[in-house]
Structure 1
């Protein structure tokens, strides 16, 4: 497996993997399948996205997105990680998140956070093993297929960027 920064040319493969996660109902409240164009819109130049390849096939990705629009939160990003069905449990998710942490640090972010379904023990275990902290549980955070679901809030502090916590919203670089 090889990991690299994603490009817009990877949008179709990323959409396919994300759509598997949507269909499987294990990692997201989303129910609308994504198109290549929808995923291409994620590439804003400010939020790292990485892909994991095996022999030229993209088998996993991890991405960041905006947390909140207020300037005080500019150094915080939400993250997601998805692995193609046939590659789950084989280390691709670990590789994707590890590289995403490096890219997020280089981009100046001081914190990554996400929400994980309480029953998704595979993701929770992986994140804990990489140093993510489970902060708490949002009860009945949303409905999926008419069923209320709880989520665990996870966060990772990027220690190297905490000392430079002043963040320029316009350039997305630490100042």
Structure 2
């Protein structure tokens, strides 16, 4: 089933937080080790603006099944055309091709927000995400060995990137 994107609103934040929190116990996707709250994520949410660093919810049959965001890469002016891409999907739709659809839709949004380059930070143990991004032309631009401790085990961070023309 096809998915669409809609700019996220504050009323979506509880669902966004719920989907994010689903990933924490696996120690594969995020560096947070315990669930976050809506209050903790409010300022982060407000940093995303439709003009340059948007956040969207992923809709399937009018249900929110995930979210996508572009975030500042480094916070300095020379990096203004580069953003970090984040995709989180509800566990009920993982492995069904939704991530592929979201990455296709994300690429179509770049020119409207003035971006030319996306980078993704993915733990080396998160093989499905690495495979997904590489399928869409992202290449490994960096590797930070054992920079995170997840589930009492060191984990590497892979930095994938892609330039869009």
TM-score category of the 2 structures, normalised to the smaller one: 0.7 to 0.9
From 79, 86, 89, the counterpart of 1:80: 86
Q: TM-score, normalised by structure 2?
A: 0.86
Question: CA 1:143–1:97 in 2, change beyond 3 Å: closer, same or farther?
Answer: same
Unaligned runs of 5+ in 2: none
Per-residue CA shift, 1:46-99, capped at 9, x if unaligned?
312222222322112111111112211111111111111111001111222222
Cα distance in 1, alignment partners of residues 141 and 85 from structure 2: 15
Q: Alignment partner for residue 34 of structure 1, among 33, 36, 39? A: 36
Structure 1 unaligned residues grouped into runs of 5+: 160-175
Distance 2:41 2:7 in 1: 11
Q: 1:148 aligns with which of 131, 142, 154?
A: 154
Matched, 1:25 2:31: no
Q: Normalising by structure 1, what TM-score?
A: 0.82
Q: Distance in 1 between matches of 2:71 and 2:117?
A: 12
Q: How far apart are the structure 2 equivalents of 1:141 and 1:82? A: 22
Does structure 2 retain, via aligned residues, the 8 Å contact 1:63–1:81? yes
Stretches of 4+ aligned residues off by more than 3 angstroms: 37-41
Is the contact made by 2:3 and 2:102 (CA closer than 8 Å) also made in structure 1? no
CA distance in 2, matches of 1:39, 1:6: 17
CA distance 1:93–1:38, shift in 2 (3 Å) = farther
96, 100, 106: which one pairs with 1:100?
Answer: 106
Q: Count how many residue pairs are aligned between Structure 1 and Structure 2.
A: 159
Shift of 1:19: 0.6
The CA RMSD over aligned residues, in Å, is: 1.7
